[in-house]
Amino acid sequence: QVQLVESGGGVVQPGRSLRLSCVASGYTFNRYALNWIRQTPGRGLEWLAAISVDGTATNYADSVKGRFTISRDNSKNTLYFQMDRLTVDDTAVYFCARDFGFWGQGTLVIVSS
């Protein structure tokens, strides 16, 4: 069965960086685009980024464009999310998702001094 498992969340100071990972299993990884989505109690669900099957095409929400980078390693069945210049507003649970039909369990990122 399809499984997505995120990791890499934690507590980080404003202005610092964090890299999230999402390991996929149960399907042919390089046949599907992938997304990062985050959720906060105040702002709800927010799509952040998407990447094509081969990693050559990406899209970003304006809120993270230029600060966050989505990438993938098809040889490792892994999706990444490099988050730079973090702010307190980036505090959220971060999910990876395959075509919105399959989601990971989420990883919590807290940006705080």
Q: Closest distance between another protein and the C-beta of residue 17, in Å? A: 23
Residues forming contacts to another protein in the complex (CB under 8 A) are 35, 44-47, 50, 59, 61-62, 95, 100-101, 103-106
Q: In angstroms, how far is the first alpha carbon of the chain from the final one? A: 40
Question: 30-60 burial, b for 16+ CB within 10 Å, e for fewer?
Answer: eeebbbbbbeeeeeeeebbbbbeeebeeeeb
C-beta closer to another protein: residue 10 or 15 = 10
Kind of pairing between the strands at 107-111 and 78-83: unpaired
- Residue 110 three-state SS: strand
C-beta closer to another protein: residue 68 or 95 = 95
C-beta closer to another protein: residue 13 or 22 = 22
Q: Closest distance between another protein and the C-beta of residue 52, in Å? A: 13
Q: Closest distance between another protein and the C-beta of residue 58, in Å? A: 11
